[in-house]
Structure 1
Amino acid sequence: MARRQQEKSRQTGDELLAAATELFGTKGFAATSVNDITERAGYAKGSFYRHFKSKDELFLRIVADKLADYRMRRDRQITAARSLDDVYAIIWDFLESIVQDKGWSASFLEFTIHASRNPDLCAELNNGVYRLSNDIFAGMVRPFLPEGYPPEKLGAFNTALFEGFLIHNLLGTGTLDTADIRQAALNLAKSFIAAPKEHS
């Protein structure tokens, strides 16, 4: 009986996550209410709060799940990497998939701005579980960097460049494409590594 209840609870949580992911992708973060999510999933509002404290927590869970999936795919690919070029190709393949999913990327940027106005939420979003830089990126590039060069610096730079490109792409300016930004990210990383004292 207890196992059946656990399975039912897990199913409810999964269906709420699926409904929220779809709605955030089509309507955006701010325009999607808890009521929208529960209606789409076919549950009462109370079911939402038995699984999540808030819409913010739910969104962070979706981000964590997406990055967990990325880590699994990355771990399979990274063993074949033999250079910084290889690592950047793996990273930007993933980032390009985010760019192509315009609904989700727009929601993520919207949530980032939302989080920036709440110090606690901002600190939570900066946790490595939800970010593409810092320890996630550092672990990938560390084997290919000179001793003493902080890989977190490249991670932060890569993320900043990507998020800037994401805004550029969502605005539809059309001046740059992903091939441009991929090559620029790699070239700039190599220039930073070649002159670490100037960028410490």
Structure 2
Amino acid sequence: MPRLTRAESQARTREQLLATAKELFLRDGYAVTSLEKVADEAGYSKGAVYSNFRNKDELCLAVLDRIHDEQVAMVAKALVDAEGLEGLLAGFQAWAEHSIGDEAWTSLEVEFAVGARRDPRIRAELAARDKAMRDTIAGLLTGFSERLGITLPMSAADAATALLSLGIGLGVQRAIDPTIPVSVLPDVIRLFAGTGDTGTA
């Protein structure tokens, strides 16, 4: 087996640290998981962590980015073969049933956001990520509305803000009470689409 280059070795170390941190943050929480524990569990020194991440906040941001990328890929997979509005909503609801309200993910997002309230730099990082998410949702809404011949009752940007806010709030509620249905999300999209049918009896 050929020897790894320095860049390849560093990339592998970063990946292993990131995977370990994700597991520990989701399992144990952010506050109680130290960088020493991440390093030990991954089989590296604490110095290896600092060679790849400035501090624990930066490591957690990278973990959250990884989780978000995974969720976007899952949504894309759920929607890729969907046909028509109801097909899209069925695919979206299937993803939502699986992901919205995941206790470990939701707890990590909330814990990190609350802890960052006194750090302007981290708040700015989170705000930038939030805007990127809203922009992505707005782009999807625009594309789907044009494809399906639907006129949104508000701007795509405002609709994206409403849906993201509803999704976050629903996630927190479902983390506490998993019996709360996710169908409210596709129902709101139906209202945005002007179908007049929430899909409920």
TM-score band, normalised by the shorter chain?
Answer: 0.7 to 0.9
Question: Are residue 185 (structure 1) and residue 188 (structure 2) matched?
Answer: yes
Q: TM-score, normalised by structure 2?
A: 0.77
CA 1:41–1:30 in 2, change beyond 3 Å: closer, same or farther? same
Once superposed, which parts of structure 1, at least 4 consecutive aligned residues long, lie more than 6 Å away? none
**CA root-mean-square deviation:** 3.0
Question: Are residue 162 (structure 1) and residue 167 (structure 2) matched?
Answer: yes
Structure 1 residue 45, shift from structure 2 partner: 0.6
> Is 2:93–2:186's contact at 8 Å kept on the other side of the alignment?
no
CA distance in 2, matches of 1:177, 1:147: 24
Please give the secondary structure, in 2, of the residue aligned with 1:178.
coil
Q: Which runs of 5+ in 1 are unaligned?
A: 195-200
Q: TM-score, normalised by structure 1?
A: 0.78
Deviations 1:119-152 (A, max 9, x none): 2212211224x56741110111103053894212
Please give the secondary structure, in 1, of the residue aligned with 2:5.
helix
CA distance in 2, matches of 1:74, 1:35: 34
Question: Are residue 33 (structure 1) and residue 34 (structure 2) matched?
Answer: yes
CA distance in 2, matches of 1:132, 1:95: 20
For residue 135 of structure 1, what is the aligned residue in structure 2? Answer: 135
Q: Which runs of 5+ in 2 are unaligned?
A: 197-201
Structure 1 residue 183, shift from structure 2 partner: 3.9
CA distance in 2, matches of 1:121, 1:147: 34
- Aligned counterpart for 1:171 among listed residues 176, 179, 191: 176
CA 1:147–1:97 in 2, change beyond 3 Å: closer, same or farther? closer
> Is 1:35–1:45's contact at 8 Å kept on the other side of the alignment?
yes
Please say which of residues 35-44 and 74-83 is displaced more in the overlay. Answer: 74-83
CA 1:53–1:2 in 2, change beyond 3 Å: closer, same or farther? farther
Identity %: 24
CA distance in 2, matches of 1:162, 1:105: 11
